[in-house]
């Protein structure tokens, strides 16, 4: 099992005084260190420009976060599971894992990043601001720039396994599993209301997080195929998996189904229905 997650937009800075990032100790260092250094240098240069927020595609209110990009080499670092925050990460509870679940996460979870390419939950990184959708001066379009490096780092890991893909489009563009070698399954969440089903957004992030956390914590062996993934997901059928912000109404998982790929090289889809 290889669980692919997007990063959170918001990042929680590491405590002052924590050691900085060590590129040589990050996951996939043999394939990714040189590119990580190049992107970090380009990002630092851009982040000191007057038009930095425009180039990076963020609002002016995020100026302080962009300024922080200039000191990434010396900034305090913490495990990625603590730096990445937000709906999906709160639902998955990666920062709270212990024992076998924590070891499984270190081996089986990869978080995609415009800055680092990909990291494991226990990789120590500083907070930063950079989306994979950015066209970064000095590097180019990040999804394109990262593609060969991520292929070198991940293709072998994915071969013979199931890839549980919870990423958004921008991060999916940076690496796509070879369907001749891996069972690639994306996760789609739909909500059923009065007999009709529609794709959801906020609830989708939360549900993907719940699924990821379940796959890491369940005592059974990790799934190795789409069919085994479906069986594992169905263990959540009928369970209350979240509460809506504002209304306070809870929602439960109704069922999961596995759909065939739409194209020969495309992914299969695990459709999770909530209500």
Could you report the per-residue pLDDT of 22-32, keeping only the tens digit for each?
A: 999 999 999 99
- Give the CA count within 13 Å in the CB-facing half-sphere of 192: 11
> Mean pLDDT, to the nearest integer, of 140-158?
98
If one counts the domains in the chain, the total is 1
Could you report the per-residue pLDDT of 172-215, keeping only the tens digit for each?
A: 999 999 999 999 999 999 999 888 888 887 789 999 999 999 99
Q: Which residues contact 187 (CB under 8 A, 6 or more apart)?
A: 164, 165, 166, 208, 211, 269, 270, 272
| Cα-based distances in Å from 144 to 33, 68, 111, 196 | 17, 25, 17, 38
Intra-chain end-to-end CA distance of the chain, in Å: 27
Count of other CB atoms within 10 angstroms of residue 198: 8
Task: Provide the percentage of residues in the chain whose pLDDT is more than 70.
Answer: 99
Containing structural domain, residue 152: 2-274
> Is this prediction's pTM over 0.85?
yes
| Least reliable range by pLDDT among 14-28, 123-137, 238-252 | 238-252
């Amino acid at each position: 099992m290889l669980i692919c997650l997007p990063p959170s937009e918001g990042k929680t800075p590491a405590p002052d005084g924590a050691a900085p990032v060590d590129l040589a100790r990050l996951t996939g260092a043999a394939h990714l260190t040189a590119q990580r250094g190049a992107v970090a240098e380009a990002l630092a240069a851009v982040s000191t420009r007057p038009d930095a927020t425009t180039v990076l595609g963020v609002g002016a209110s995020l100026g302080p976060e962009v300024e922080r990009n200039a000191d990434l080499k010396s900034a305090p670092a913490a495990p990625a599971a603590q730096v990445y925050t937000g709906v999906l990460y709160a639902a998955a509870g990666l920062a709270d894992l212990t024992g076998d679940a924590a070891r499984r996460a270190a081996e089986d979870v990869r978080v995609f990043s415009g800055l680092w390419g990909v990291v494991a939950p226990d990789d120590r990184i500083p907070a930063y601001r950079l989306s994979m959708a950015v066209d970064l001066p000095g590097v180019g379009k990040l999804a394109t720039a990262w593609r060969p490096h991520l292929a070198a780092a991940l293709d072998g890991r994915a071969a013979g396994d199931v890839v549980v893909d919870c990423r958004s489009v921008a991060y999916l563009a940076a690496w796509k599993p070879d369907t001749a070698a891996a069972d690639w399954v994306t996760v789609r969440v739909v909500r059923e209301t009065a007999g009709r089903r529609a794709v959801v957004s906020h609830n989708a992030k939360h549900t993907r997080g719940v699924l990821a956390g379940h796959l890491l914590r369940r005592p059974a062996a990790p799934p190795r195929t789409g069919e085994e993934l479906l069986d594992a997901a169905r263990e959540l059928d009928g369970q209350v998996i979240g509460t809506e912000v504002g209304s306070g109404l809870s929602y439960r998982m109704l069922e999961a189904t596995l759909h065939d790929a739409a194209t020969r090289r495309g992914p299969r889809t695990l459709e999770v229905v909530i209500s």
